[in-house]
Amino acid sequence: MLLETSRGEIDRSQDYVVGEEEAIWVLKLVLPYINEFLLKLRALFSGDPSTTMKLAVLLFVLARCGSSITIWKMAKLGFFGVFIVPKVCSSYSTQLTAFGTFWIRRFRDAWESCSHKKAVGFAIFTLVWNLSSMVARIWAVFMLFVAFKYYQHSLMSNEWTEEVRNEDSWQGQRQGRRTTLTDNRKQKKTF
């Protein structure tokens, strides 16, 4: 073949046509993987606010750093993510949790003791807004929207669980009242 192409003698009389059987075989081979990919993609874009926030952060980082990602860097990050991160998290989970809890409590105490909450919040928002690019602003607005939806979703689920608890306690009180009424009737009949 190489010798023929170097001389310029290529036989173009043979046509390579994929038949129906070969196409069906390839589809049977590839279709399960495509279906699995579509199911995972559907789960990612399901509309759940917490999943959307995670995916939005990933897409934003990929958009910012996508041009510098190579196969070698992906292999290093994959090794780091699969082997090192779980080991560190399992080994130091109590220390990391205590450290995070300490800083969350410290910021919460500082925020609760602040007398000018609206002014501080507006100043932080203005500072971040002015120092960010247009893409980061659009991303921030999107994340705020999703966070608001997540907050609404959590409020609705909390209200629903409270309604169920109240309904269960009401049913229990009603059943308790029935037993006391029947007990009173039995006591009256015995006298």
User: Which pLDDT belongs to residue 113?
Assistant: 92
Residues 49-103 have pLDDT tens digits of 777 777 777 777 877 777 787 888 888 888 888 888 888 888 998 998 999 999 9
> Do 4 and 11 contact (CB within 8 A), yes or no?
yes
Q: Is the pLDDT of residue 36 over 60?
A: yes
Q: Which of 41, 72, 26, 50 is nearest to 148 (CA)?
A: 50
Q: Is the pLDDT of residue 108 over 80?
A: yes
What is the maximum span of the chain, computed from C-alpha positions, in angstroms?
A: 122
Angle at 107 between CA 105 and CA 112, to 5 degrees: 90
Q: Is the pLDDT of residue 139 over 50?
A: yes
Report d(CA 73, CA 69) in Å as an integer. Answer: 6
At residue 17, the 3 state secondary structure works out as coil
At residue 1, the 3 state secondary structure works out as coil
Report d(CA 48, CA 52) in Å as an integer. Answer: 6
- Counting DSSP H helices and E strands in the chain, the numbers are 8, 0
Looking at 25-29, 119-123, 136-140, 179-183, which range is the least confident one? Answer: 179-183
